[in-house]
Chain A
Amino acid sequence: MFYRRKISGIVVLFLFLVTPLLIMLFDPGAGHLQESQSFCPFKMLTGLPCPGCGMIKSMVSLYRGDLAESFRNHLFGPLLVLFFISALFVMTVELIRGRNYKKRWLYNMKLAYGTAVLMGGYHLVRIILFVTSHSFGEILQESIWF
């Protein structure tokens, strides 16, 4: 059971890290990713960005070596990649050594609420900037309805 869980965790983390790489490899050209219709169901329906919108673009920009663009697409993109790589490393070591390490901070409620406030604040700022910099028609064009 231990090994099964660790291996499935490692596979999932690996896929998370590799998916943007595949998108990057099959991206037909510069700007395509920015201009094409988002697959986010929230954005498709409303035209507004969801809290996770821009994450894949951010990861792709990071893999291309453009850190500034990566932060512009999503502030937490590079941090998420770092988190995934760290988690992948820890899980691999756990698998090799056959034991679990304590990760108390992952279950710390204060840290969780702090992160929630940070994420929520970032999303709020992003929505305000998006709404103020786009007309109603432009917002609708981001959705699938126009």
Chain B
Amino acid sequence: MQIIDNIPEFRREPVVVLLLGFITCGFYLIYWNLQAAKVFNALAGREILSSVVAVFAGCIWPVNMYFFFIVGRDGLPALDERIGMPPRDQSILLMLLGFFFPMIAAMIVQSEINKLYK
């Protein structure tokens, strides 16, 4: 994995995240959660997402809801600050999406992560 400005590079097409999530019967989301947790921890400059919890979140409801809640509450505002945008709290939206459509929530978060590398 490349490191860009202390942030691990984790660039994927959001639709690829969705497709891989389905094709691999959810296996890919375990890997995706781990990599996303690394990016957000690096962005925040502290460990906001436990890597162990990230693995559980890739496999197990309702841990994925908690994962997306933390991403929305702490991760995405840190990302917004890094790219010079006003921080937004999307915790509730992502938590609900994590409950109903975790792969769609992952797509949205991936599209936000991709903004870092533009």
Contact residues of A with B, CB < 8 Å?
A: 12, 16, 19, 40-42, 45-46, 48, 50-52, 55-56, 76, 80, 83, 103, 105-109, 111-113, 115-116, 119-120, 123-124, 127
Contacts and interface: CB of A to CB of B under 8 A. Distances in A.
Contacts of A80: 56, 60, 63
Nearest to A39: B100
A123 B25 contact: yes
B58 A119 contact: yes
A119 B59 contact: yes
Given A42-B103, A52-B64, A107-B51, 10 more contacts: A12-B65, A12-B66, A12-B69, A41-B102, A42-B22, A51-B25, A51-B27, A52-B26, A106-B52, A112-B34
B55 A116 contact: yes
A48 B24 CA distance: 11
A41 B100 contact: yes
B30 A51 contact: yes
Contacts, number: 85
Interface of B: 22, 25-27, 29-31, 34, 47, 50-56, 58-66, 69, 100-103
Given A52-B60, A80-B60, A112 B52 contact: yes
B66 A111 contact: no
A109 B25 contact: no
Given A42-B22, A48-B25, A116-B58, A108 B51 contact: yes
A123 B50 CA distance: 22
Contact of B25 (A50, A56, A119): A50
A63 to B, nearest CB: 15
B52 A105 contact: yes
A120 B66 contact: no
Given A42-B25, A112-B34, A55 B55 contact: no
Nearest to B101: A41
